[in-house]
Amino acid sequence: MTVRSAWHPPTGQTREDTRLAVSLGMASAGPLLTRAGCVFGGLQLTGTTATGMQAKLSPGQVWIPGTSTGSQGGYPVTVDSDTLLTVADGHASLPRVDALVVRVYDNDYDGSGKYEAALELLQGTPAGSPTAPAVPKNAELLYEIAVPAGASAAKGIAWASAITDRRRYTAALGGIVPAAGGAPHNGAYAGQYRDAGGRLERWDGAQWAKYIPDTILRHTADWGATTAATYQEMLTDTVATLTATFTAPYSRWVSLTFGAFTAADGNATAYISFRLRTQSGTEVLAPSDDRAAILDGAGRASISTCFPVGNLTPGAVYTATAAYRSSVAGTRVHFDNRFVRVDPVA
C-alpha cells in the first residue's frame, strides 16, 4: 500500500499503520523516520551501593524508531517502576565496557518470535582498551558501564566513575530538543532547532550552528601611533592588528563597538574606525569618518562608538579590523587600550 490512514477505515488498520500515525507527532529524522530518544528527566541510572554489581534504573519513557524497514514506524516504550540491573562479573585480568539499551523485538521484522520491549545489558569484549558493544537495530543506548578487571560481588564497580550517560532526547514535532551525550542527531530539515547547553542552535542543512553566535571582544593594551592622514590598520610600535573574527547571525545584523584611550599632538584630530572583510578577504565596509570614534582637540580621552552593520550572510565568517588616522599628515596621534567588540543582534 502506498497511501495509509489510521482510525479511518472501518476495518483492517494494522499495527504498522498505527505506529506510522503516532509517529506523525514526533520530531522528525527523515520522511518516514522519527528521532530516537528519551523523555527528559527519566531513566536515571545509579548504583545501589557505592561499590557493587547492581544498579537501579528509575522510571521513564523512550521513543525507539523502527530501523529494520522504512515503513516500520516507531515504538513508545515506558519503564513504569524502578528496575534493578545486575552486571556480570568482570574478566579476571582485563576491563570491559557494557552497554545498557532499551530494545524492541518485533517478529514481523526481526524473526525473533517475540513482540516485546526489554532492558538489556550488552556485555562488551574484555581488552586493554575496551570499547562498548554495537547497539543493535530497533534499540536505543542509555548508558555505558565500565567494568573493571576482577569485578564481582566481593569487589564491585565504583559506580560514581563507572557510568557514562549516553541518553539522547526527543520531543514532539517542532519541539526544541536538548542535545545530550548519546550518538549525535543530525537535523532533519533546515530551520530545526535544539538546545545545546543552554544555547539555541539551528540546523542549516549541513551542521548545527548557534542561532545567536557568541559575543566577540578583542582588546590590547599595546600602545601605538600613526602620522598617516589615511586609515591604517597597523600602528607604529605595535606588533599586530586588532581584529575580531565573528559569525553572522540569522538576523543578518551585528553591533560593532570600538574605541581606545587616545591623544593627539598639535592640532590634529584622532580617528579610530574599522574595516569589515569576508573570510576570503573581500572588503565589505571601508574605514570611514562617518563610522569613527573621534578625539578633536588637545589632551587625552577615552573614546568609543557603536555602529550597526546589517545585510550580512547568515552563518558566514567576517573580520572587523580597527583602523586609525590623523587629521593632519605628519602629526602623530596615539592610541592605547584599544578594543573591538561584536554583538550579534537577535
Tens of pLDDT along 159-209?
Answer: 999 999 999 988 888 888 788 777 778 888 888 888 888 888 888 888 888
Closest CA to 315 of 215, 217, 203: 203
Helix-, strand-, coil-residue percentages of the chain, each rounded to 5: 5, 45, 50
DSSP state of 236: B
Asked if residue 131 has pLDDT above 90, the reply is: yes
What percent of the chain is predicted at pLDDT more than 70?
100
Q: Are strands 293-296 and 283-285 parallel, antiparallel or unpaired?
A: unpaired
Query: Residue 140: which pLDDT band, with cuts at 50, 70 and 90?
Result: very high
Per-residue model confidence (pLDDT) at position 16: 86
Computed over every residue of the chain, the mean pLDDT equals 92
3-state secondary structure 141-174: EEEEEEECCCCCCCCCEEHHHHEEECCCECCECC
pLDDT digits (tens, 9 = 90+) for 4-27: 888 888 888 888 888 888 888 888
Per-residue model confidence (pLDDT) at position 121: 97
Query: How many angstroms separate the CA atoms of 159 and 329, rounded?
Result: 72
Per-residue model confidence (pLDDT) at position 22: 85
Looking at residue 162, its amino acid is A
Query: Residue 53: which pLDDT band, with cuts at 50, 70 and 90?
Result: very high
Exposed / middle / buried, residue 128 (Cβ in 10 Å: 0-12, 13-18, 19+): exposed
Asked if residue 2 has pLDDT above 80, the reply is: no
Residues 6+ apart with CB under 8 A from 10: none
Three-class secondary structure of residue 297 per DSSP: coil
Helices (H), 42-181: 107-110, 159-162
Length, in residues, of the chain:
346
pLDDT digits (tens, 9 = 90+) for 68-95: 888 888 999 999 999 999 999 999 999 9
pLDDT digits (tens, 9 = 90+) for 265-286: 999 999 999 999 999 999 999 9
User: Does this model's pTM top 0.75?
Assistant: no
Query: How many angstroms separate the CA atoms of 8 and 155, rounded?
Result: 59
Three-class secondary structure of residue 291 per DSSP: helix
Give me the CATH topology for the region 216-344: Jelly Rolls (2.60.120)
Per-residue model confidence (pLDDT) at position 239: 86
Per-residue model confidence (pLDDT) at position 25: 83
Asked if residue 1 has pLDDT above 60, the reply is: no
**CA 15 vs CA 3, 30, 35, 71, 317: distances in Å:** 15, 20, 19, 11, 49
Query: How many angstroms separate the CA atoms of 279 and 206, rounded?
Result: 19
Q: Where are the domain boundaries for CATH 2.60.120 in the chain? A: 216-344
Per-residue model confidence (pLDDT) at position 217: 97
Per-residue model confidence (pLDDT) at position 174: 81
